[in-house]
Amino acid sequence: MKALVVDDSGVMRKVLIGALGRANITDVDQAADGKEAVDAVLAAEYNLVLMDWNMPNMLGIDAVRAIRASGKTMPIIMVTTEAEKGRVMDALKAGANNYIIKPFEPNTIVSKIQEVLAKAS
Amino acid sequence: MRAEHINPFIESVYELFNTMLQGKVERGPIGVSSGNDSPRDIMAIIGISGPTRGTIAIGFPAITALSMVGRILGTPVTVIDETVSDGVAEIVNIVAGSAKAKLNTDASRPLDLSLPTVVYGDKYDVQYPSKAVWLEVPFTSDLGDFNLRVTFETVPQ
């Protein structure tokens, strides 16, 4: 099981890597913006992507669109401060499978990861 | 800008403490900031644009910034470095992002956040645009004191 964590905040990437560890996912790559994420997804196989929205170079939602356009079907969870209903709908329409709004409780994100992976298997 | 406009930001601070920081926080009275007093060591700043535009700044003494970032990471942080800068930037990002969802009632005109900026030092002044009114709220918490400053205006359609 291999995951990609995409966030321009190194602190948030560490938090998310910790959550993945508690969900027994320890093989994790990191990307600091949407462009790096797309490059990583095209170069390797991932079982899960956690994607921020607001990042330099390429927004997370544009990265989701690019990943889906490339034919990749792994689950993508948006993990973002963008909490408006319209933004959630936009992300789901772009191809995200689930949505976690920051701030989150540490346990919430672990159970959401497990739920998304169970649905995908 | 009316005093109640700062309420979504105050609520967002409480949400942050109830979730990721798992701590207790109390706010002080809302006041108008002159911008000439910056008794803080680190300030994280973020802009909101769209039908409402403005700026949100959270000022931290170094000890509070270390405690808050340490709590988020689940490990003690003892030195002000890139990690702390990154952490306080994420804190202002979360507070502003959460508040903008509460502020925005028009789904057809979404609000956008800028990328956060972090300023270090205890000797800086903040020069506000001449007509801007900044509201300020001091907070006390089990992770230390900090303050929140907000200014924004609604842009006519």
Identify the CATH number of the domain in which residue B126 sits: 3.40.1550.10
pLDDT tens for residues A95-110? 999 999 999 998 889 9
| Model pLDDT for residues B77-118, shown as the tens digit of each residue | 999 999 999 999 999 999 999 998 888 666 677 788 888 999
What residue spans of chain B are helical by DSSP H?
7-18, 62-73, 82-103
Query: Nearest CB to A103: which of B19, B104, B111?
Result: B19
Domains of chain A: 2-111 (3.40.50.2300)
Rounded to whole angstroms, how far apart are CA atoms A44 and A28?
12
Give this complex's ipTM.
0.89
Residue A10 has pLDDT above 70, yes or no: yes
Structure confidence at residue A57 (pLDDT): 95
Contact residues on chain B for A56, CB-CB shorter than 8 A? 115
Among A56, A85, A104, beta carbon nearest to B20 = A104
Q: What angle do CA B36, B85, A60 make, to 5 degrees?
A: 115
**Looking at beta carbons, which residues of chain A come within 8 Å of B15?**
103
Q: How many domains does chain B have?
A: 1
Displacement of CA A97 from its chain's centroid (Å): 9
Q: What is the pLDDT of residues A57-74, one digit of tens each?
A: 999 999 999 999 999 999
Numbered residues of chain B with Cβ closer than 8 Å to any chain A Cβ: 15-16, 19-22, 69, 72-74, 82-83, 86-87, 89-90, 93-94, 96-98, 100-101, 104, 107-108, 110-111, 113, 115
* Amino acid letter, residue B52: T
Interchain proximity B19–A54, CB inside 8 Å: no
Contact B41, B120 (CB under 8 A): yes
Distance CA B122, CA B109 (A): 38
Q: Which domain holds residue B93?
A: 3-154
pLDDT-derived band of residue B48, with 50, 70 and 90 as boundaries? Answer: confident
Task: Count CB atoms within 10 A of the CB of residue B16.
Answer: 20
Write the CB contacts of B153 (distance below 8 Å, at least 6 apart in sequence). B1, B52, B53, B54, B132
- Quote the Cα angle for B92-A14-A107, to 5°: 85
CA distance B151 to A83: 21
Predicted local confidence at residue A49, as pLDDT: 98
Given a cut of 60, whether residue B38 has pLDDT beyond it is: no
Q: pLDDT tens, B133-155? A: 889 999 999 999 999 999 877 77
Q: Are B61 and B140 in contact (CB under 8 A)?
A: no
Whether the per-residue pLDDT at B124 is higher than 90: the answer is no
